[in-house]
């Protein structure tokens, strides 16, 4: 019995070591190939500018999907489409694996934009908006959705911690920049971004108000 176990563990050791080396090889290749992306997305996929999405810790399958969509002009973006056309399928897989293996950085606490305060000041009937109230509103929408208006709860697909759902290819959202999340949700709402064949996000975002989009984006940006 013991002998069998020993034999098994030796076999495993021999089969897994080249496997690990191979994976490491791909990660190194992915890191090198991502050099041209680092200026915008950060060396480890944690972009500094809030309009450039973080790619760190994102599911590789989702990154591959999006890069192929840019490449085929299904997801339209004047910056990303030409860049993606320079990548082979192998480049895309290696770069995606590299970003997926990085850790997403935590954001500083959100601050209120001047226009949020203006809106509250203009409209005396409105309760004054604070970051806390927006984040709480967004947290409620994320967890519960809005049953009356048939806005699905984000948690169902993007997970309790914003970690997404790897087998289902639902992207991770946690610690993403709020500005990028707002743009993504507005693009889904308007139909500008519609590369997913099921178009689930369009169905959801078209029912959301601008305030809800902002609130849920702020909440997601604080998820760790
Ligand atoms: C000049 C800046 C810039 C460079 C360089 C750049 N990107 Fe981007 N990237 C962007 C912007 C802006 C977006 C958001 C596009 C949008 O709003 O739809 C984006 C989006 C993406 C997305 C989609 C992320 C998501 O969450 O859906 C992926 C994946 C991506 N880039 C990968 C890359 C890779 C790989 C490279 C290098 C080959 C690269 N980018 C180089 C600016 C850049
Ligand atoms: C039925 C499943 C489902 C639900 C519910 C859902 N999503 Fe999504 N979400 C997706 C899928 C699938 C994608 C990828 C879309 C694509 O490939 O274009 C996505 C993409 C996104 C993105 C873009 C991420 C990126 O990196 O560009 C954001 C932001 C987002 N969802 C926010 C939300 C919010 C906020 C809610 C709740 C109000 C929500 N989602 C509810 C499935 C869902």
Alpha carbon of 208 to ligand 1 centroid (Å): 25
What's the CA gap between 77 and 95, in Å, rounded?
Answer: 19
Q: Closest ligand 1 atom to the C-alpha of 75?
A: 18
Q: Supply the pLDDT for residue 128.
A: 75
Half-sphere CA count of 110, side-chain side, radius 13 A: 28
Name the nearest CA neighbour of 168 among 177, 176, 159. Answer: 159
What's the CA gap between 77 and 57, in Å, rounded?
Answer: 22
Q: Which ranges of the chain have pLDDT less than 70? A: 1-22, 114-127
> Which of 75, 100, 158 best tests ligand 2's pocket when mutated (most atoms within 8 Å of CB)?
158
CB 175 within 8 A of CB 105: yes
Alpha carbon of 154 to ligand 2 centroid (Å): 7
What's the CA gap between 124 and 178, in Å, rounded?
Answer: 27
Q: Supply the pLDDT for residue 58.
A: 98
pLDDT digits (tens, 9 = 90+) for 132-161: 999 999 999 999 999 999 999 999 999 999
By alpha-carbon position, which residue is closest to atom 31 of ligand 1? 80
Contacts of range 201-210, beta carbons closer than 8 Å, 24 or more positions apart: 204/151, 204/152, 207/146, 207/149, 207/150, 207/151, 208/151
> Which of 37, 78, 93 best tests ligand 1's pocket when mutated (most atoms within 8 Å of CB)?
37
Residues 6+ apart with CB under 8 A from 125: none
Half-sphere CA count of 147, side-chain side, radius 13 A: 1
- What are the structure tokens assigned to 23, written together? 């994976």
Q: Supply the pLDDT for residue 137.
A: 97
Q: Supply the pLDDT for residue 112.
A: 82
Alpha carbon of 5 to ligand 1 centroid (Å): 48
By alpha-carbon position, which residue is closest to atom 23 of ligand 2? 184
Which residue in this structure is represented by tokens 């601050």? 111
Q: Supply the pLDDT for residue 5.
A: 56
Name the nearest CA neighbour of 23 among 60, 65, 56, 62. Answer: 60
Average pLDDT over the chain reads: 89
Give residue ranges with CB within 6 A of ligand 1.
36-37, 39-41, 51-53, 55, 63, 66-67, 77, 79-80, 83, 87, 95, 183
């Amino acid at each position: 019995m013991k002998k069998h176990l020993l034999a098994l563990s030796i076999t495993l050791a021999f089969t897994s070591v080249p496997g690990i080396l191979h994976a490491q090889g791909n990660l190194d290749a992915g890191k090198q190939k991502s050099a041209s992306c680092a200026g915008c997305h950060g060396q480890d996929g944690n972009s500094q500018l809030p309009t450039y999405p973080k790619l760190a810790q994102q599911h590789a399958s989702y990154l591959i999907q999006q890069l192929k969509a840019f490449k085929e002009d299904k997801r339209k973006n004047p910056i990303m489409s030409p860049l993606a056309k320079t990548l082979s399928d192998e480049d895309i897989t290696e770069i995606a694996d590299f970003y997926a293996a990085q850790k997403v950085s935590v954001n500083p606490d959100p601050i209120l934009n001047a226009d949020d305060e203006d809106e509250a000041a203009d409209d005396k009937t409105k309760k004054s908006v604070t970051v806390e109230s927006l984040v709480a509103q967004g947290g409620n929408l994320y967890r519960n959705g809005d049953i009356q208006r048939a806005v699905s709860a984000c948690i169902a697909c993007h997970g309790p911690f914003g970690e997404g759902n790897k087998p289902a290819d639902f992207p991770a959202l946690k610690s993403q920049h709020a500005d990028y999340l707002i743009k993504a949700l507005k693009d889904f709402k308007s139909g500008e971004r519609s590369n997913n064949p099921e178009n689930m996000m369009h169905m959801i975002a078209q029912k959301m108000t601008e305030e809800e989009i902002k609130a849920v984006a702020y909440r997601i940006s604080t998820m760790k």
